[in-house]
Amino acid sequence: MIPLAIITAFLGTIITLFFNSLVNAWNKLEGETKNDYATSIQIFVKEIKKNFVDKPTKRRTKEPDDFEGSSDEVKAWCERMTLFFQSNDISKEWERIKIALGKIKGGKENWAQQ
């Protein structure tokens, strides 16, 4: 298996070469041509951004019940949350954390400190 450091260095080199050639080509452009390309690039970037903005998604399965803090229920609740994430294709860790934190409501036991 190729070490991550080598893959990262390789990709960094490829990206650098690409942007260097892009800058050289850009510097050769003049006047209206440069403005036309700039406008086209702005439109292109705007279209790409549309695909990366977090959009509310329709859930395929219902969210599990809130976790109320019972130490007896921790494992089962975590398993239900994992199934919910998998069945709804929720793979971004930050999104999973936000959803899970919103489902934790406390309870009488302070199981987190035990």
Q: How far is CA 40 from the centre of its chain?
A: 27
Q: Is the dihedral of CA 111, 93, 13, 21 positive or negative?
A: negative
Within a 10 A sphere around the Cβ of 77, how many other Cβ atoms?
19
Confirm whether pTM is higher than 0.85.
Answer: no
Residues 6+ apart with CB under 8 A from 104: 66, 67, 69
3-state secondary structure of 54: coil
CA torsion through residues 86, 87, 93, 97, sign: negative
Handedness of CA 27, 30, 31, 35 (dihedral sign): negative
Quick one: pLDDT band at residue 85, thresholds 50, 70, 90?
A: very high
21-78 per-position pLDDT tens digit: 888 888 888 888 888 888 888 888 888 777 766 666 677 888 888 988 778 888 899 9
- Measured CA to CA, the distance from residue 95 to residue 109 in angstroms comes to 27
